[in-house]
Amino acid sequence: MEFSTVQQGLIQAPLDRKIFVSGPAGAGKTTAGVGRLQWLLANRVPAQSILVLTPQRTLAFPYDTARHMPQLRPGGTVNLATIGALARRMADLFWPLAAEEAGFTHPDTRPIFLTLETAQYFMARIVGPLVEEQGYFESIAIDRNRLYSQIIDNLNKAAVVGFAITDIAPRLKSAWVGEKAQLRIYDEAQDCAIRFRHYCLEHNLLDFSLQLEIFVKHLWTEPLCRNYLLEQYPNLIVDNLEEDTPVAHEILQDWLPHTTSALLIYDEGGGHRSFLGADPVSAATLASLCDERLHFSASFVVTEPINALAKALEKAISPQKATEGQGREKAAVTQGSSLRSALHYDLHRFHPEMLDWAADTIAELVHHKGVPPAEIAVLSPFLSDALRFAMSNRLEQRDIAVRSQRPSRALREEPAAQALLTLAALAHPEWGSCPSRHDVATTLTCVIEALDLVRAQLLTDILYRTKGSCPRLEPFAGLKTEVQQRITYLLGGRYEALRLWLEHYNEAPSTELDHCLSRLFGEILSQPGYRFHQDYHAARVAANLIESVQKFRWIAGALPGEKPPAQEYVELVRDGVMAAQYIRDWEADQADAVLLAPAFTFLMSNRPVEVQFWLNVGSAGWWERLYQPLTHPHVLSRHWQAGRLWLDSDEVAARQETLDRLTQGLLRRCRHALYLGLSELGEDGYEQQGALLMAIQRVLRENHGT
């Protein structure tokens, strides 16, 4: 790869330099970081002495690729980690040093590390009885899974920001200006968080917040652990520094003076993970600890028309910020700037018409203008099932491959996961869990190739039995001849093969659900004649589900409940547990396919594309926060003054900043063209007048000559 002069200077800097690099997205900072890693290795810096830190595992993909390149010298392996992963490793390695001091009831027993899913499971054990028996949270309407996840989020905020969990409610209450009934909700959320923490201490459970607290308060201050890290990793590379948390920055502040070399990469305009505790302000302070500061300004991604569009949109969203920036950068957008080659749009009355236009435009780009499908990203503030299906169906009809990316989506919302769990219930009639006829029919449609819902419903109505809370599928041969002919013998044979597998499995069932699902997928569903045979997305969902079940068995099995772990897991998923992050969901797809994703997810993949489509531009979801009655990301931050009220003006300012960061981040990852999906009526049938639409209209009015 050819590098620019400034990149070459960074890569080949002396091996004992500590360098802070800043610049906008697309300026080649990560590319230079990967080059620096390769330079260190080429100059005989031991691979095992290098630690690459990123705020999220997916952001380390370029370094992961580089450390496995075949031309590298043999030897150790470069370590990749997040601060959370580092905390877990140290808690596991130095457990005896921290367990008793941290207050665990059984310090001589090994800890149990929780995933996001298992943390919600144990949170349900604590909060469920309080909701049902003592009326907790009765004044708000919210799904149980979101209730649990927001309490967990409060605990995580306390850990990454650096305040005690007993301060959660006081902080939230001091900023509240609405009805007083909300104050009770904060107190109840605080009580649930404290109860959960006591439960974890009693049973040696470590969720993310407790892992981080143990590392920061007990292990990082312990000379044995601290010296181990300082001696083990004298060479640091920290990328996307602005997306990490204040506690992570404080650890780096202590670490940097002891390093031999360091490279800190800071993305200007970042901080997209602020709702997870990201703090660009504290990240910038680390520059003073480095020997040298470099600024990358030239973009390797953005063309001049896109750059003009970005500045015009910034001016429309944040006029004050754009005015301040004009003093630093003379190339401000003027009235006569041409945006025609960068911005494309077409106004429609109804939402389906907008989707048709987007699909037709993508087909034109792919089939007639030679744009590779992988260089097209279709983005919206949220990617609902309906929107995903509608766009995927339209693109497939136009012979265009498509893939979607929706991490942390509840497993029950994935049809493939629903089908697998329904079949698991049929394979374990002893659970006494009888899937509904609708679920069984949908499952048959999902797994048997060419079986439509009408014939699947017919099969279910006649052959599905639930005698004595014992679900069972009857043989296909039991149908009348005319019904068999209507179903077709081909589809009937596939149904019968599936039924016989379930029947034979039930004769000697496995005690582990993940073993059952692995066999079911491998022996039946992945074979020709079944839909999972060539459906890579379904295969990925199945792999995530099996991994999730396995981890749940390892963790929940250590603390037995009233029901078998397998049955508890199925019920947990049906309740809507939020899925953990699975790295395979973020790995680059080998297929040349159009990407459908939420805008934030696309940002965190940190991958530029030739063309972007923004759908539902009029939606308020581009700048509104999700409804979170139990938490508040801005109030629970280090920069919020204690006792200050959160006013409407603060909400508007926060939304404006979020929208500006989001749109600028997206445009910095777009090479040539932006297409806007505009419809007067949104997906829900209501008129759309969101803040992004207003900003786009201002851009078009001020550049009406383009």
> How high is the pLDDT of residue 625?
85
646: confidence class by pLDDT, cuts 50, 70, 90: very high
Percent of the chain scoring above 90 in pLDDT: 69
Element (H or E) spanning 81, and its range? Answer: strand 79-81
How many whole angstroms separate alpha carbon 557 and alpha carbon 572? 14
Q: How many CB atoms lie within 10 A of CB 336?
A: 8
> How high is the pLDDT of residue 208?
96
- One DSSP character per residue, 27-69 reads SSHHHHHHHHHHHHHHTT--GGGEEEE-SSGGGGHHHHHHHT-
Q: Is the pLDDT of residue 452 over 80?
A: yes
What mean pLDDT do residues 553-567 have? 78
> Which carries the bigger pLDDT value, residue 626 or residue 424?
424
- Give the closest residue to 244 by CA, choosing from 218, 270, 220, 221: 270
Q: Is the pLDDT of residue 72 over 90?
A: no
> How high is the pLDDT of residue 432?
82
Query: What token pair was written down for 428?
Result: 């374990």
Q: Which residue carries 């500061």 as its tokens? A: 293
> How high is the pLDDT of residue 602?
92
> How high is the pLDDT of residue 324?
56
Query: What token pair was written down for 65?
Result: 């690729």
Q: Give residues with Cβ within 8 angstroms of 627, minimum separation 6.
A: 142
Q: Is the pLDDT of residue 583 over 60?
A: no
Residue 164's alpha-carbon distances to 157, 226, 634, in angstroms, are: 10, 23, 17
Q: Which range among 11-25, 60-74, 125-139, 582-596 shows the weakest confidence by mean pLDDT?
A: 582-596
Sheet holding 261-268, edge to edge: 79-81, 50-53, 235-238, 261-268, 18-24, 292-295
> How high is the pLDDT of residue 330?
43
Q: Which range among 307-321, 446-460, 632-646 shows the weakest confidence by mean pLDDT?
A: 307-321
Query: What token pair was written down for 193?
Result: 């968080």
Within 488-593, residue ranges assigned H as helices are 489-507, 513-520, 536-556, 565-574
Q: Is the pLDDT of residue 158 over 90?
A: yes
How many whole angstroms separate alpha carbon 152 and alpha carbon 192? 10
> How high is the pLDDT of residue 318?
86
487: confidence class by pLDDT, cuts 50, 70, 90: very high
Rounded to the nearest integer, the mean pLDDT of the chain is 90
How many whole angstroms separate alpha carbon 72 and alpha carbon 361? 44
> How high is the pLDDT of residue 579?
60
408: confidence class by pLDDT, cuts 50, 70, 90: low
> How high is the pLDDT of residue 586?
56
> How high is the pLDDT of residue 634?
94
Percent of the chain scoring above 70 in pLDDT: 94
> How high is the pLDDT of residue 335?
39
Q: Is the pLDDT of residue 71 over 80?
A: no
Query: What token pair was written down for 484?
Result: 């068999």
DSSP 244: S
Determine the length of the chain. Answer: 706
- Give the closest residue to 301 by CA, choosing from 654, 606, 14, 45: 606
> Residue 92, SS3?
helix
β-bridge mates for residue 404, sequence order = 596
What radius of gyration, in Å, describes the C-alpha atoms of the chain?
Answer: 27
Within 103-167, residue ranges assigned H as helices are 116-134, 144-161
**pLDDT 10s digits, 332-378:** 444 335 677 789 999 999 999 999 999 999 999 999 999 999 999 99
Q: Which residue carries 């949908």 as its tokens? A: 442
How many whole angstroms separate alpha carbon 271 and alpha carbon 276? 10
How many whole angstroms separate alpha carbon 276 and alpha carbon 583? 18
DSSP 532: G
> How high is the pLDDT of residue 445?
96
296: confidence class by pLDDT, cuts 50, 70, 90: very high
**pLDDT 10s digits, 241-281:** 999 999 999 999 999 999 999 999 999 989 998 888 999 99
Distance of CA 641 to the CA centre of its chain: 29
**pLDDT 10s digits, 503-527:** 999 888 877 899 999 999 999 999 9
> How high is the pLDDT of residue 206?
96
Element (H or E) spanning 693, and its range? Answer: helix 691-702
> How high is the pLDDT of residue 591?
64
Q: Is the pLDDT of residue 569 over 90?
A: no
pTM, two decimals, is 0.89
580: confidence class by pLDDT, cuts 50, 70, 90: low
